[in-house]
Chain A
Amino acid sequence: MQLITTMLLDGLSYASYLFIVSVGLTIIFGVMKILNVAHGAFYAWGAYGAAYTIGLASDNDWPDWIGFVLIFGSAILVGLILGAIIERVILRKMYHEEEVLIVLATFGIFLILEDIILLVFGVNPYFAYQPMALLGSIKMGGIIRDVYSLTLFGLAILVALGCWYGLNKTKWGKLLSVVIYDREVSLAMGINVQMVYLVTFILGATLGALGGAYIAPTISVAPGFGIDVIVLSFAVVVIGGMGSIPGALIGALMVGILRAIAVHKFPEFELFVIFGVMAVVLMIRPEGLFAPEKARRI
């Protein structure tokens, strides 16, 4: 019983992590049909932003709770600046190009942003453990857990609810669905598609950066740590169905829980879980679990 509770909690906590780091990717794909490799760089920049500002705050003896403000603040700042620049300067000129060219362009952007990190922040690690230390720990199911990781779960629910509300209950969400369904028709109807794309990309970038910023307190923020997140979030998004937010949620849950079971019971399979699940899901449901519907063109 204790083992099952532990596995469940570990799985949920890892799933929340996966969902938060991949939701931005799926939103951008859903609206713009861009598989954004630069997502890994947004993640890394978000983490660096949070770690740097939290470090500064701590040096100046600001209260530790400020850290939470800084996490969200730096994610929004990174998303706004990087998102706006990349969309307006590079991607906007490419929408008529083939999908794969855009993927590669974002790969180029990723490489550049990664090296800029190295030039700006150097090779030494940055830490932002204050928020995690502040929240402390709690005993659950017989073992001690840190509260910060549990808040990840709350954040994941918050993000999921926010996206659901934004897409289904607001005027913007309705505009988005129209643009997703048919770009040309929306243009013809006078929707400012360029603006929709810009806002979507900034939103996706901000969520990517938020993933990094929120994870930053639990890790060592050092060069090259954004690269693994790319494949990880790709896999989650593909399993759930690219462009689907509920899909990303289910994908994250599946991988998170299976991985927890593997780590506890069959550690040798841990490395296969994510791509094994991905291969199996794709073979049964080629477009992922919750693929948005597409118009068939003859």
Chain B
Amino acid sequence: MLGRTVLAGGALAAAAAAGPAIAKDTINVGIATFLSGPAAGPFGVPGRNGAELVIDAINAGTLPAPYAKAGFAGAKMNPIFVDEAGGNAKQVGEYRNLVEKRGVDAVLGYISSGTCMAVTPVAEELKKLTILSVCGTPRVFEEAQRTYVFRTQAHAVGDSIAAAHYVLDKFKDMKSYTGINQNYAWGQDSYKFFDVAMQKMAPETKASENPQFPKIFAGQYGTEISTLSLDSAKLVHTSFWGGDIEAFVLQALVRGFFNDKQVISSVGGSAVDSLGKKFPDGVVMGTRGEYGLLVRDNKEPLNAWFVEEYKKRYDAYPLGPSYQYANSVLALKIAMDAAAEKAGGFPNQEQTMAALKGLSWQSFGGKISLSLADGHQAVHPVGYGITKWDKEKGAATAVDVKFYQPECIYAPAGQNSVEWLEAGMPGAKC
């Protein structure tokens, strides 16, 4: 086996065993994100833009303090963007190509939960540092302990628990709820977590017997909107994203749906900008962290820099995924810089990983801590706000924004979050 490993361009792996690596001018990093297909517009391209912006700034040394030092342990990053479209099987093949054929030093990104689940075992097998950026399924780190894989985004259980908290805080007279979610793992999980959280926190509320699960990318929701309209539940939970939420909003809007129902959307942020003033006021909107719409006017220096530079370069506001990708890039920089300092030279992969483990840092969207799954899984606050079109500014804003702290919405380290949720979230500090 040894002969083959070395032939496979595993010189890096061999070097990893022996002391600090040779200093490098550039590191090659594979960055996977949707460049085609329906997820490209709402997630993939904003994500790529966020990564690109921050990589260029780090390479040039123009990030604000405390990250003004140029480079990743002094090296420039050469990003290799690859398309995440085409299904998990294809992504596993492409991951192997990135590592074994193109010899990247690390891999970042991934939006789809399914793809994250699929590439994680391969990353472990190939022993390649991989930082997941967006995907939400808690299973990645709860089914097995990972060594080479990290995630700088908190998982989806917290998004749904925070949604339930927000609903109970702001709409005290809400007696029953229903949902419309896409019929795939993300949609099924999002509603299930929300449903359980509601039942645990407010057992008196009633769940509808007919929550809707249309096919993903169905585009036509006339029948579903009728069903929801006939349902007595006033609150409608949705984890629709991209084109699906846009189509849903357009079709529901004409039918006066939003006058009757209170909608809470966990990841529909892209629609608020793409539909602009057409997007209805009063929808509860989440961004899966201190990102996007909810923090647009936040003056915290890193966030302000990010929003301003992003707007300048791409003529659009950064969305959740822009932050999520930027945060992964930043985490890699911080870890490599710290590892370089400790090792007294350019760090190898083991040293970078040791520095990354358990890292806590000020990101473009608030403080993020890799505190779960033995220092591999991030937690951070998650919030919701209510959409409101600002006529004077000609831009979408969020009012009544409220963030929930990690202690309130995530299971303590070492516990399975779905079991913890079903046990009634013991020990949660809200």
Contacts and interface: CB of A to CB of B under 8 A. Distances in A.
A252 to B, nearest CB: 13
A3 interface: yes
A181 interface: no
B243 A146 contact: no
Interface stretch (A22-30, A90-98, A125-133, A201-209): A125-133
Contact of B274 (A3, A10, A13, A220): A220
Interface string B29-57: 00000011110110011000000000000
Contact of B226 (A129, A143, A222): A143
B255 A220 contact: no
Interface in A9-34: 9-11, 13-14, 17
A136 B36 CA distance: 34
Contact of A132 (B38, B44, B227, B250): B250
A267 interface: yes
Contacts of A224: 36-38, 85, 217
Contacts of B257: 144
A228 B37 contact: no
A2 B230 contact: yes
B385 to A, nearest CB: 22
Contacts of B275: 127
Nearest to A138: B255
B219 A225 contact: yes
A111 B229 CA distance: 39
Interface stretch (B87-95, B206-214, B388-396): B206-214
A125 B226 contact: no
A99 interface: no
Contacts of A270: 183, 213-215
A222 B220 contact: no
Chain B binding surface SS class: helix
A271 B183 contact: yes
Contacts, number: 133
B222 interface: yes
Nearest to A17: B220
B246 interface: yes
A13 B226 CA distance: 12
Given A136-B254, A144-B255, A125 B274 contact: yes
Nearest to B211: A267
B251 interface: yes
Interface residues of B, number: 42
Contact of A137 (B37, B222, B256, B271): B256
A129 B274 contact: no
A148 interface: yes
B12 interface: no
Contacts of B214: 263, 270
A137 B254 CA distance: 6
B278 interface: yes
Contacts of A155: none
A143 B261 CA distance: 13
Nearest to B218: A228
B219 A219 contact: yes
A149 B219 contact: no
A10 B414 CA distance: 48
Interface string B341-374: 0000000000000000000000000000000000
Contacts of B222: 10, 13-14, 149
Given A125-B41, A143-B229, A144-B229, A225 B217 contact: yes
A53 interface: no
Nearest 3 A-B pairs (CB), nearest first? A220-B246, A146-B254, A123-B40
Interface of B: 35-38, 40-41, 44-45, 85, 183, 210-215, 217-220, 222-224, 226-227, 229-230, 242-244, 246-247, 250-251, 254-257, 271, 274-275, 278
Interface of A: 2-3, 6, 9-11, 13-14, 17, 115, 118, 123-125, 127, 129, 132-133, 136-137, 142-146, 148-149, 215, 217-220, 222-225, 227-228, 259-260, 263-264, 267-268, 270-271
